[in-house]
Amino acid sequence: MKAVDTNVLVYAHRTDTPFHDKAASTLRGLAEGQSQWAIPWPCVSEFYSVVTHPRIYDPPSSRDEALGQLRAWVESPTCILLAEPPGHWEQFERLIRDAKVAGPVVHDARIAAICAAQGISELITQDRDFSRFPDLRCTGLI
């Protein structure tokens, strides 16, 4: 199963981003496809935080625009939301130690640990920091 990282969600939503067309096409294909796909819960909140932030986008997405976009993805019959399963701590701790994670990359480690524990075969992301986690196959938009 494929999962989608925050940056791809943002690019798909915001028409003023550099990878909008490719990200929107990718998300449309997942949402309208027959195979299950996933969004990790941390990416849901991070997406909302980024697209509604007035220091990141001028103008930012409105609350209704951001929630409407999330609703459209989440209501796809093949979309599932991924949360930390029981035993998450062990996976998270191992990833942090093995990848020597510190600082803001801890958020990526959380997503990687959730994906690994939930059997995700591929994370669609433009974030190169995920290369620190060799157990998680990552593909970009281009």
Domain ranges of the chain: 2-83+120-139
Q: What is the model's pLDDT at position 96? A: 94
Q: What amino acid is encoded at 57 in this protein? A: Y
According to CATH, the topology of domain 2-83+120-139 is Rossmann fold (3.40.50)
Helix (H, G, I), strand (E, B) or coil at 3: strand
Q: What is the model's pLDDT at position 135? A: 85
Q: What is the model's pLDDT at position 11? A: 98
**Alpha-carbon dihedral sign for residues 88, 90, 96, 102:** positive
Region of 119 (left: φ > 0; alpha: ψ -120 to 50; beta: rest) is left
Tokens of 18: 């550099």
Q: Round to whole Å and give the CA distance between 136 and 113.
A: 9
Interacting residues of 90 by C-beta distance below 8 A, sequence separation 6+: none
Interacting residues of 109 by C-beta distance below 8 A, sequence separation 6+: 92, 95, 96, 99, 101, 132, 133
The residue ranges of the chain whose pLDDT is under 70 are 142
Interacting residues of 136 by C-beta distance below 8 A, sequence separation 6+: 112, 115, 116, 120, 123, 130
> Can you list the positions of beta strands (E) in 26-94?
37-40, 79-82
Tokens of 74: 């989440």
